Amino acid sequence: MEIQTDSSRLVTQNLLVSAAAADADGTPRWAAVQDLAALIDLCCLYDRIVVLGREVNAALELGSPVLDLIAASSLLRIDFPHVGYEEAIADSAKRHLLTYLGEKDLGDFDGLIRFALMPDRATYGLCYAPDGMIEVEEGDAWLRTTPRNKDLLQQLKREDGVARSTTFLVRSFLYVAYADLTGLVFVPDSARVGLVGDLATTEQGVGSSLLKAMTSASAEVFGAAPFHLTRLSPLAAVVFERAKGRSQIAEEVERLRNELAPLRKRLNKAEQIWRFGKVDEVINAVTE
Q: What is the pLDDT of residues 209-228, one digit of tens each?
A: 433 333 333 344 455 444 44
276 domain-assigned: no
Domain, as residue range, for 141: 1-259
Between CA 243 and CA 231 the distance in angstroms is 19
Q: What is the pLDDT of residues 17-54, one digit of tens each?
A: 888 888 776 777 888 889 999 999 999 888 889 988 76
- What is the Cα gyration radius of the chain? 19
Split into its structural domains, the chain has a count of 1
For position 287, what pLDDT does the model report? Answer: 54
Does 63 score more than 70 pLDDT? Answer: no
130 domain-assigned: yes
Taking CA atoms, 130 is separated from 15, 17, 186, 219, in Å, by: 8, 6, 18, 21
280 domain-assigned: no
Between CA 159 and CA 137 the distance in angstroms is 16
270 domain-assigned: no
List Cβ neighbours of 210 (8 Å cut-off, separation of 6 or more): 186, 188, 193, 196, 197, 200
Q: Where are the alpha helices (DSSP H) in the chain?
A: 13-22, 30-45, 56-59, 65-72, 86-101, 109-117, 133-145, 152-158, 160-182, 193-204, 234-242, 249-259, 261-276, 279-287
pTM of this structure: 0.77
- From 124-133, 169-178, 192-201, the region with the lowest mean pLDDT: 124-133
273 domain-assigned: no
